[in-house]
Amino acid sequence: MPDYILEMRSITKSFPGVKALADVTFSAERGEVHAICGENGAGKSTLMKVLSGVYPHGSYGGEILFEGKTCEFSGIRDSERAGIVIIHQELALVPHLSIAENIFLGNERRGRGGLIDWHKTQAEAAELLNAVGLGEEPTTPVGQLGVGKQQLVEIAKALAKDVKLLILDEPTAALNDNDSAHLLDLVRALQERGITSIIISHKLNEIEATANRTTVIRDGQTVETLDMVAPDVNVDRIVRSMVGRDLESFYPERNPTPGEVVLEVRDWTVRHPQQDRLVVDGASFEVRAGEVVGIAGLMGAGRTEMAMSLFGRSYGRFVSGRTLIHGKPVAPRTVAEAIGHGLAYVTEDRKQLGLNLLDTITRNVSGAALPKLAKWGFVDANLEAKLARHSMDSMRIKAPSVQSVVGKLSGGNQQKVVLSKWLLTGPDVLIIDEPTRGIDVGAKFEIYTLINEFVESGKAVVVISSDLLELLGTCDRIYALSGGRITGELPVAEANEEKLMTLMTKEKEAIG
Amino acid sequence: MTVTASRGPKGALAQPPEKNGLGELRLALTRNLRTSGIYVALVALIALFALITGGASLSAGNVTNIVLQYSYILVLAIGMVIVIIAGHIDLSVGSVVALTGAISAITVIKYDLPWWVGVLAALATGLLIGAWHGFWVAYVGIPAFIVTLAGMLLFRGLTLFVLDNVSLSPFPDEYGVIASGFINGWLGGYGYDVFTLVVFALGVVGFAMSQYRSRKARMGYHQPVPPLSLFALKILAVGVLVMAFAWKLASARGLPVVLIMLAVLIMAYTVMMQHTVFGRQIYAIGGNLAAASLSGVKVRAVNFWIFVNMGLLSAVAGIVFSSRTNGAQPGAGNMFELDAIAAAFIGGAAVTGGVGKVVGAMAGGLIMAVMSNGMQLMGIDQSLQSVVKGLVLLLAVAFDIWNKRRAGAH
Ligand SMILES: Nc1ncnc2c1ncn2[C@@H]1O[C@H](COP(=O)(O)OP(=O)(O)OP(=O)(O)O)[C@@H](O)[C@H]1O
Ligand SMILES: [Mg+2]
């Protein structure tokens, strides 16, 4: 009889118009790393919110047993007291507060008279940072850290609460390979200290490498729990269980037929908005019709910054450089002009920069193309509804209706809304920053297919991705960016992970 | 095999809403309670005061009086809810009401120019003030709270200055028509004004038709709609209430001129907020500023025009108020900004921006109006009235938040 730290029995949970969890039964053994997989909107995050008391007892059906005791949490404080800590899909740190303050937020170390004991706070924070392997001063404001390091701060914060069961909802979605590897090492290290982890991820190879067992959820129901050491259990096996059939390949076939140059960028140089340093330094590249061009680079290489500054100078201060579209020099100074010239930029940060979470799918999808859907300033509501409906069907956005509020969709479905929004502007060049962040395997394939169809109609796509395999699988040519400079260009036939990595770290080594 | 086309129809993925009749009705009710809560509250409040005052609050004269007395607050609330949806606030509108009224009074009374020159001068002043605020908020980037707080002091001071600290009155009779004029007897009267009734009846029919059309459109796109019974009930309830209101007006002095103006403004601004690119962009800015600007919304221009519009509507309110009080006073419009802000928030606007409706703000303003008026009829002390209004504002917003949380948790 295995020693279960957690048992969730027949959990059900409904929202108006949606049954998010129909019947999920799932248990975690003490000290294991248990992965949860499933398509976008399958109910993974909802299940974890039920477990951690975000949705209080009474608002869901079924039974939760933690350490053999029935749990009826009425809030996240209750679950934390029991030793369950959740790190949400969206990080919840306060950017202006220091690392130490964030770690002990709501859990302050007090001294005499109930005042905060800052010495103790700093000392314990330093210890925790050491435990998670983050070499930063406890006094550094969290806003100055990259996502990878913020993720570690979140874990330190969890450790400060005497965690027994750590829940990580897509912890590596926004991380590059190095940071992901570090984080997963940390999860294994915690396992040695006896901490049980539940980890949700769409990166199945990570799960294969880290998890002891994997539970697959589909349409709000448990499909099965797989023992990862069993001989026939591998990524393909998980995929089959997730989508209900075999997946032959992760990337659709591409038959590139590059045409004329659509977008040409020459000596693009951009300065940091506040500091006096170049973020993009003399970058030149070109994209042809019918081509998917990749941009590889480490965190901080200036990929996003370059893309955003090209897109109507949305980032930093423009220094010099030229852009040509269809051979004609253009200089879009605003986003509206950039859209007018046929550019579209799909942000990597859908919540902050991509969506109006308060509004409906329809209005988000039409958001960037609104002037085109209007006559005399009046929006053609019928046309708008029709296009939204079409996007929802062709992208397979899972939601009760096109009038659903985007903030209530699952992460992956939100990503599809952002993509739809930009496809609707009818661009010639689509720049996609992290196209499949937080998207399930099946939907990834669909998005790649969509990219292919888009370029086959004579358009061009630039893909920025931290996932080198994704670049290798979807692009025709790949540029490497390092320290704001283009350090190399490879046709995909000649490229591999190693070569790209060398190019991506070139500048760094040269500097020291 | 590949993944492309074999995922089954959309319907298999999305869970359809509960199909059994009872569940459907419950769903429709909970969903509609959230949007129609304030209207229900408004009706309940009217009924409550009618009971307490033994029907006095529903007398034809009093109903007409409420319309005349609160019209300018409602005009301000239209502009305010737009400002709030965009994520700003305007604390200066009371002072702007005073200054525009004063400018109009000086033009008409002091310089003896025709009434419409006064109106134009006030409107121009309002536009200028709006542009002034818009400039600082949109192009310099100072938070609206600060800019309009400065404006509140600035324009109150200017009012005192141009009026030399004394009141100016009276206006010629034509000017008084703006706020206290009535249309009566156009189609004859038999103790009640037929024209008023016809206008309102047409309004109700138009409302019913537009609701029906939007319902059909929604069904055409397979979007959830409340059951037909509930829909008919809603139309019927609105129709009965509106016609009862019309009957009251018709049996008093007829159709107030300001009510026509107000109705036109409400309809125009509702259309603007829901159906024009500009209106949509206001919601987009309030909902997520960064995302809006990355979608090509000209954030600065939109913000600028929002404040210009607020200035214009403040001037309209200033004209109506000066017309109603038949003069300009240095202290005119004091605290109007707070009534307008309260109306917007009671009407469902969100403090963080991105959410709100013009009609909601109107209902919010009417709730305040009915309350003040009812308490006046009951002879309740000013001090207590203020306490009650404060509590109502707090409770209304608390109810809204509770409602949202409940919707999220179930
Ligand atoms: N607050 C809410 N209100 C209404 N519906 C919701 C709410 N939260 C989640 N849902 C719905 O419940 C379903 C499950 O969502 P959930 O976020 O659990 O998916 P997920 O498995 O985590 O997906 P992803 O991989 O995309 O993050 C989705 O259809 C979603 O739209
Ligand atoms: Mg999720």
**Domain boundaries, position B295:** 34-182+257-409
Task: Report DSSP letters for A53-65, one per residue.
Answer: TSS-TTSSEEEEE
Angle between helices B358-377 and B336-346 (to 10 degrees): 120
Last residue of a domain, one of B199, B224, B252: B252
Residue B137 domain flag: yes
Closest CA to A292 of A449, A183, A440, A403: A449
User: Of B216, B231, B252, which residue constitutes the final position of a domain?
Assistant: B252
Query: Six-digit token pair at B59?
Result: 């007398």
Asked whether residue B16 is assigned to any structural domain, the reply reads no
Q: Is residue B322 included in any domain, yes or no?
A: yes
Rounded distance from Cα A21 to ligand 2 centre (Å): 13
The count of other CB atoms within 10 Å of the CB of residue B14 is: 21
- Greater confidence (B23 vs A202) lies with A202
Chain A residue nearest residue B15, CA to CA = A18
Do B324 and B304 share a domain, yes or no? yes
Q: Are B45 and B371 in contact (CB under 8 A)?
A: yes
Q: Are residues B285 and B380 in the same domain?
A: yes
Are the Cβ atoms of A374 and B278 closer than 8 angstroms?
no
Q: What is the mean pLDDT of residues B90-98?
A: 96
Which residue's alpha carbon is at the smallest distance from atom 19 of ligand 1?
Answer: A41
Residue B190 tokens, joined: 């038999």
Which residues have C-beta atoms less than 6 Å from ligand 1?
A 15, 18, 20, 38, 40-46, 398-399, 408-413, 438, 440; B 408
Statement to judge: residues B75 and B153 lie in one domain: yes
- Name the residue at shortest CA distance from atom 16 of ligand 1: A43
ipTM score here?
0.80
- Is residue B8 assigned to a domain? no
Residue of A392, A414, A362 lying closest to B218 (CA atoms): A362
* B248/B273 same-domain check: no
B305 and B164 share one domain: yes
Average pLDDT, chain B: 86
Task: Give which of A320, A365, A357, A28 is closest to A200, Cα–Cα.
Answer: A28
Please give, one letter per residue, the 3-state secondary structure of A228-290.
CCCCCCCHHHHHHHHHCCCCCCCCCCCCCCCCCEEEEEEEEEEECCCCCCEEEEEEEEEEECC
Tell me the residues of chain A between 99 and 118 that have a Cβ less than 8 Å away from chain B: none
Size of the A and B interface in Cβ pairs below 8 Å: 145
Dihedral sign of CA atoms B186, B187, B190, B192 in order: negative
Whether residue B160 is found in the same domain as residue B193:
no
Residues of chain B positioned with their CB less than 8 A from the CB of A421: 295
Q: Mean per-residue pLDDT for B340-366?
A: 91
Query: For residue B321, what is the domain's CATH number?
Result: 1.10.3470
Name the closest ligand to CA A22.
1
Q: Do A442 and B3 touch (CB under 8 A)?
A: yes
DSSP string covering A360-411: BHHHHHTTTTGGGGEETTEE-HHHHHHHHHHHHHHTT--SS-TTSBGGGS-H
In a domain, residue B22? The reply is: no
Which domains are assigned to chain A? 4-243 (3.40.50.300), 259-342+428-512 (3.40.50.300), 350-426 (no CATH)
**Nearest C-alpha neighbor of A264 from the set A212, A320, A330, A210:** A330
Q: How far is B378 from chain A (nearest CA, A)?
A: 42
Q: Given B202, B220, B252, which residue is the final one in a domain?
A: B252
Statement to judge: residues B132 and B168 lie in one domain: yes
**Arithmetic mean of pLDDT, B323-335:** 92
Confidence of residue B409 (pLDDT cuts 50, 70, 90): very low
A375 near B CB under 8 A: no
Structural domain count, chain B:
2
Q: Which residue of B has its CA nearest to A355?
A: B291
Residue B18 pLDDT grade (very low, low, confident, very high; cuts 50, 70, 90): very low
Q: Which of B277, B407, B410 sits opposite A374 (nearest CB)?
A: B277
3-state helix, strand, coil in chain B (%, to 5): 75, 0, 20
Ligand 1: atom nearest CA of B15 is 29
Does pLDDT of B206 surpass 70? yes
User: What distances in angstroms separate CA A342 from CA A142, A267, A394, A401, B312, one per listed residue?
Assistant: 37, 21, 22, 30, 37
Same domain, B266 and B247: no
Measured between alpha carbons, how far is B309 from B84 in angstroms, rounded to an integer? 13
In whole angstroms, give the CA distance from residue B409 to residue A56: 7
| Torsion sign (Cα): A206, A210, A213, A217 | negative
User: Using CA positions, which residue lies closest to atom 20 of ligand 1?
Assistant: A41
Tell me the pLDDT of chain A (512 aa) as tens digits. Answer: 678 999 999 999 988 778 899 999 999 999 999 999 998 889 999 999 999 999 999 899 999 999 988 999 998 889 988 999 998 877 778 888 889 888 888 878 777 777 878 888 888 888 888 888 888 888 888 888 877 888 889 888 888 888 899 999 988 887 878 888 888 999 998 999 899 999 999 888 889 989 999 999 988 999 999 988 888 888 888 888 887 777 677 888 888 888 899 999 999 999 998 888 899 999 999 999 999 999 998 877 889 999 999 999 989 889 899 999 999 999 999 999 999 999 999 998 888 899 999 899 999 999 999 988 998 999 988 899 889 999 998 888 888 888 889 998 888 889 899 999 999 999 999 999 998 888 888 888 888 988 998 999 999 999 999 888 899 999 999 999 988 999 999 999 898 888 998 888 876 444 43
**B100, B134: one domain:** yes
> Do β-strands B255-256 and A278-288 pair in parallel, antiparallel, or remain unpaired?
unpaired
Q: Which ligand is nearest to the CA of A51?
A: 1
Please enumerate in sequence order all residues whose Cβ is within 8 A of that of A149, keeping only pairs 6 or more positions apart, or say none.
A134, A136, A179
Peptide bond into A329 cis (omega under 30): no
Note the pLDDT tens digit of each residue in B150-168. 999 999 999 999 999 999 9
Give the residue with greater pLDDT, B93 vs B194. B93
A18 touching chain B per CB within 8 A: yes
On whether residue B3 sits in a domain, the answer given is no
| pLDDT level of residue B24 (50, 70, 90 thresholds) | low
B28 inside domain: no
B289 in the same domain as B239: no
Contact status, residue A447 vs residue A438, Cβ threshold 8 Å: no
Whether B268 and B285 map to the same domain: the answer is: yes
* pLDDT at residue B406 in the model: 60
Please give the model's pTM, rounded to 2 decimal places: 0.84
Contact A312 B355 (CB under 8 A): no
- Residue A235: CB partners within 8 Å, gap ≥ 6? A204, A205, A208
Higher pLDDT, B141 or A148: B141
**Which ligand minimizes its atom distance to the CA of A202?**
1
Instruction: State which of A37, A46, A415, A416 you would mutate to test the pocket of ligand 1, scoring each by most atoms of that ligand within 8 A of its C-beta.
Output: A46
Å between A289 CA and nearest CA of chain B:
24
Do B44 and B172 sit in the same domain of this protein? yes
Contacts of A367 in chain B (CB under 8 A): 280, 284, 291-292, 295
B54: in domain: yes
